[in-house]
């Protein structure tokens, strides 16, 4: 999955949206696919210079923890 972004802020917002969608898939077979897509996009953001701590926080969000 190739998701374009123009700024790191835009990229982080897209990752946040992906993680929310991933959590909506929890418990179904698509969850693992979304998990891998989120990881790949996070790696792309890190390569573009995004802060790894910001990425880690976003990737760790879970709906059941009410972290949104």
Q: What is the mean pLDDT for each group of 10 consecutive residues in the chain (68 residues)?
A: 81 93 89 92 94 93 56
Containing structural domain, residue 54: 29-68
- pLDDT value of position 6: 86
Answer whether residue 35 is part of any domain: yes
Closest to 55 measured CA to CA, from 12, 21, 13: 12
Answer whether residue 17 is part of any domain: no
Is the full-model pTM beyond 0.85?
no
Q: Based on the structure, what is the number of domains in the chain?
A: 1
Asked if residues 55 and 68 have their Cβ atoms less than 8 Å apart, the reply is no
């Amino acid at each position: 999955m190739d998701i374009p972004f123009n700024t790191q802020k835009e990229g982080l917002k897209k990752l946040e949206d992906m993680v929310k969608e991933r959590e909506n898939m929890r418990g179904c077979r698509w969850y693992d696919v979304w998990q891998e897509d989120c990881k790949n996009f996070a790696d792309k953001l890190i390569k573009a210079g995004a802060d790894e701590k910001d990425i880690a926080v976003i990737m760790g969000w879970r709906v059941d923890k009410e972290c949104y």
